[in-house]
Amino acid sequence: MIENLPPCPECSSAYTYEMGAFLVCPECGHEWSPTAADPAGDTEDGVIKDAVGNALADGDTVTVIKTLKVKGHPTGIKAGTKVRNIRLVDGVAGHDIDCKIDGFGAMQLKSSVVKKA
């Protein structure tokens, strides 16, 4: 029995399955309701907002609000790190900020882990 389930809104995996009233992605572990109108939630009319609801724009300075692990780097990005001159992009898997962080180089961040400085 093959069902037509929507792909995961976080990682776009096609291997989603039902668990009770929710849909679950086995690859990233994301759970969501199939009746949710807009799974992204933080982009309304093209406005990208930070973790506390402030609208972000190109060139803003933001502060990382939680420690982030970085593959291949022993310490990661610590909470409180300032990131200057961000650029808003339509990135992969919810990463909507393109930036350059001292000591790490160019990378993309999610707007849910930063706040406007």
pLDDT digits (tens, 9 = 90+) for 16-44: 888 888 888 888 888 888 775 444 444 45
d(Cα 23, Cα 26) in Å, to the nearest integer? 10
Nearest Cα to Cα of residue 110 among 89, 84, 85, 80: 89
User: Model's pTM, two decimal places?
Assistant: 0.60
pLDDT of residue 1: 42
Residues 6+ apart with CB under 8 A from 49: 42, 55, 56, 111
Q: Which two tokens stand for residue 55?
A: 């609208």
Nearest Cα to Cα of residue 30 among 40, 47, 71: 40
The average confidence (pLDDT) of the chain is 84
